[in-house]
Amino acid sequence: MKFGKEFSAQMVPEWRAAYMDYGYLKSLLKEIQLSKHRNNPDSLAAASTPHSQARKRRLALYRTFSGLTKSRHTQQPSSPSSTFGGVDIESQAILVHSVNENDSESYQTTFLMAAEEGGVQELEYFKKLDNEFNKVDKFYRSKVDEVMKEAAVLNKQMDALIAFRIKVENPQRMFDWSGEMTRLASDVATSTAALAAASPHGARASTGRVHAMDAIEERGSNSSCDEEKDDKKSGDVEMEMKKSEGRRGTRPAPLDILDRVTMNHTVETPCSTIKGFLNVAPQTELKFSRVNLNKVEEQLRGAFVVFYQKLRLLKSYGFLNTLAFSKIMKKYDKVASRDASKSYMNMVDNSHLGSSDEVTKFMERVETTFIKHFSNSNRRKGMGPKSKVERHRITFAMGCFAGCTAALILALVLVTRARKIMDKSGRSQYMENMFPLYSLFGFIVLHMLMYAGNIYFWRRFRVNYSFIFGFKQGTELGYREVLLLSFGVAVLALASVLSNLDMEMDPKTKDYKALTELLPLFLLLLVIVILLCPFNIIYRSSRYFFLVCVFHSICAPLYKVTLPDFFLADQLTSQVEAFRSLQFYICYYGRGDYKVRETTCRSSDVFKIFSFLVACIPFGSRLLQCIRRLVDEKDPMQGYNGLKFFLIIVSVSMRIAHTLTDDVNWKVLAGIFSIVAAIFATYWDLVVDWGLLQRRSKNRWLRDKLLVPYKSVYFIAMVLNVLLRFAWLQTVLKFNVSFMHRQTMITVNEHLNNVGKYRAFKSVPLPFNYDEDHGKLL
pLDDT (tens digit per residue) in 372-404: 888 877 777 667 655 555 578 899 999 999 999
The fraction of the chain above a pLDDT of 70, given in percent, is 70
237, 560, 562 from 633: Cα distances, Å: 46, 10, 12
Task: List the one residue out of 463, 491, 494 whose CA is nearest residue 479.
Answer: 463
6 in Cβ contact with 23 (< 8 Å): no
CA angle in degrees (0–180, nearest 5) for 425-426-430: 150
What is the rounded CA–CA span in Å between residue 112 and residue 133?
20
Is 521's pLDDT higher than 90?
Answer: yes
Nearest residue to 213 via CA among 276, 156, 279: 156
Residue 613 lies in a domain: no
pLDDT of residue 745: 42
pLDDT score at 776: 45
With beta carbons less than 8 A apart as the criterion, state whether 599 and 433 touch.
yes
Q: Coil, strand, or helix at residue 256?
A: helix
User: For the chain, what's the residue count?
Assistant: 778
- To which H or E segment does residue 677 belong? helix 664-683
Query: Number of structural domains, the chain?
Result: 3
What local confidence, expressed as pLDDT, does residue 247 receive? 43
User: What mean pLDDT do residues 344-371 have?
Assistant: 89
Asked if the model's pLDDT at residue 510 lies above 70, the reply is no
E strand residue ranges, 169-323: none
Mean pLDDT throughout 228-249?
45
- Are 125 and 28 within 8 A, CB to CB? yes
Report the chain's mean pLDDT, rounded to a whole number.
75
Domain-located, residue 352: yes
CA distance 635 to 641: 10
Residue 737 has pLDDT above 90, yes or no: no
60 is a domain residue:
no
Buried b (16+ CB within 10 A) or exposed e, 301-334: eebbebbbebbebbeebbebbbebbbbbbebbee
Indicate whether 368 belongs to any domain: yes
Whether residues 566 and 492 fall in one domain = yes
Alpha carbon dihedral 639, 641, 646, 648, in 10-degree steps, equals: 170
* Inter-residue contact 361 to 199 (CB < 8 Å): yes
Say if residue 368 is in the same domain as residue 458: no
Phi, psi of 88 (to 5 degrees): -80, 100
The answer to whether the CB of 498 falls within 8 A of the CB of 408 is: yes
* 416 plus 452 within the same structural domain: yes
- What's the predicted TM-score (pTM) here? 0.70
Point out which residues pair with 106 in neighbouring strands.
99
Tell me: do 538 and 644 sit in the same domain.
no
Whether residue 372 is found in the same domain as residue 403: no
By three-state DSSP, how is residue 635 classified? Answer: coil
pLDDT confidence band for 585 (50 / 70 / 90): very high
Give the C-alpha separation, 23 to 5, whole Å.
10
Full domain range(s) for residue 233: 1-54+92-384
* Residue 498 identity (one-letter amino acid): L
- Of 261-265, 419-423, 590-594, give the range with the top mean pLDDT: 590-594
Cα separation of 230 and 234, whole Å?
Answer: 8
Other beta carbons less than 10 A from residue 281's beta carbon = 7
Consecutive H or E run containing 83: strand 83-84
Check whether 693 has a pLDDT greater than 50: yes
Mean pLDDT over 17-22 rounds to 92
Measured N-to-C along each axis, helices 664-683 and 711-728 cross at an angle, to the nearest 10 degrees, of: 160
- Which phi and psi angles does 263 have, rounded to 5°? -80, 145
Most trustworthy range by pLDDT among 81-90, 242-251, 502-511: 502-511
In a domain, 73, yes or no: no
Which residue, of 384, 404, 422, is where some domain finishes?
384
Q: What percent of the chain has pLDDT over 90?
A: 24
Same domain for 539 and 443: yes
Other Cβ atoms less than 10 A from the Cβ of 58: the count is 8
Residue 542 pLDDT > 60: yes
Q: Is 676 helix (H, G, I), strand (E, B) or coil?
A: helix
DSSP H/E element including 110: strand 104-111
Same domain, 549 and 633: no
Residue 229 within a domain? yes
The answer to whether 97 and 105 are in contact (CB under 8 A) is: no
Output phi, psi for 115, to 5 deg. -75, -15
- 292 vs 318, residue with greater confidence: 318
The verdict on 374 and 443 lying in the same domain is no
How far from chain centre, in Å, is Cα 433? 43
List C-alpha distances in Å: 594 to 500, 640, 642.
Answer: 12, 45, 41
Question: How many CB atoms neighbour CB 126 within 10 A?
Answer: 21
Helix (H, G, I), strand (E, B) or coil at 144: helix
In a domain, 756, yes or no: no
Q: Are residues 450 and 594 in the same domain?
A: yes
Question: What's the pLDDT band for 301 if we cut at 50, 70, 90?
Answer: confident
Is 62 strand, coil or helix?
Answer: coil
Where a domain ends, among 540, 570, 603? Answer: 603
Q: What is the C-alpha to C-alpha distance for residues 498 and 418, in angstroms, rounded to an integer? A: 13
Confirm whether 612 is domain-assigned: no
For residues 373 and 405, state if they share a domain: no
Among candidates 563, 551, 577, which has minimal Cα distance to 689? 563
| Final residue of a structural domain among 330, 354, 384 | 384
Q: Which amino acid, 214?
A: D
User: Do residues 224 and 368 both lie within one domain?
Assistant: yes
Measured CA to CA, the distance from residue 705 to residue 691 in angstroms comes to 10
Q: Residue 248: which residues within 8 A CB-CB, separation 6 or more? A: 189, 214, 215
DSSP string, 636-665: HHHHHHHHHHHHHHHHHHHHHHHHHH--HH
Q: Do residues 374 and 403 share a domain?
A: no
CB 215 within 8 A of CB 252: yes
Nearest CA-CA partner of 151 in 211, 208, 214, 202: 202
